Every structure is written in C-alpha cells, then in structure tokens.
Amino acid sequence: MSHFNFEESISIGIERADIAEANKNEITEIFNDFSQAFQKASNNKIHATIKSKQRKIYEGNNALLAAASRFNFKYESFNALVLSNGSKDYTIAEIIENEDGYPLRIKVEDYTSSYSDKDSLVVGLSKLVARTEVGKYFKLLLNDE
C-alpha cells in the first residue's frame, strides 16, 4: 500500500475554494455594473438581474407527440439574465454557472459562449446588449406604463 499525503490535497482544495470565491465575487461585481448601466440609461426605470426561471421539457423521442400530451413533460430550472422594469421582465440570456466561477457560460437561443475571465465576460456582455432583440426589450420596458 502506498502512502498518500492527504494534507497536500486538502491544501489544494482550500486554495481552489478561495479562487472560486474571488471569481464569484468578481462576476457579481460585473453583473452589478451591467445592471447599473441599464439603470443609468433608463433613468432608474430598468435594471438587469439574474433570476431563477422554469421551462417545460418534453420527454420521449417525439417532441410533437409529447407536446400534444399533458403528461409527457417536466420542468427544469435555469438562471435567466433578465431586463426588468419591476412589473415586467424579458429574458435576454441563460446564465450557466460553474462551481469555480469561471468559465461562465452565456446562452442566447441555440448559441452558448464561454468566458474564462473578467475581460472576456465584459466583452461578451457588451456584445449581448448590442443585439437588436435586447434593444427592443429595453424600449418595450421603458415605454411600459
């Protein structure tokens, strides 16, 4: 039987937990800045937030048959990045978190992008909000009385 140094493994685990915590704090700060940009652009009427939502998932091999049946589906939770004016919100992306913070993935429709650090995440979010669909949602929320 070989001798293994568990203390070294514990130390590595603690170091990884510290890095994950720092990454998650950084990501939270980026999303706070992201929301503040919407608040500033809308005179505090619109903000962005990450919200837990549910979607219907069809079970079975034939989605059409599953859709026709009330019993062949289930729900799954996901983290949605939403724009909101307090009374209405629109989902602009799905956020797929990692236990270590990075890489963080952002899914828009059928395309998923992965971001490995602060700079790439900021660029990715900038591209996301430049999309026509996000501009339309912003205008709808701004004009919603």
What pLDDT digit, counting tens, does each position of 94-131 carry? 999 999 999 999 999 989 999 999 999 999 999 999 99
Question: Is 108 a domain residue?
Answer: yes
Q: What total of structural domains would you count in the chain?
A: 1
- The pTM score is 0.83
Question: Is 1 a domain residue?
Answer: no
| Tens-digit pLDDT profile for residues 62-87 | 555 555 555 566 788 999 999 999 99
Mean pLDDT over each residue of the chain, to the nearest integer:
90
pLDDT range class, residue 56, cuts 50, 70, 90? confident
Contact 88, 123 (CB under 8 A): no
Question: Is 21 a domain residue?
Answer: yes
On the CB side of 134, CA atoms within 13 Å amount to 18
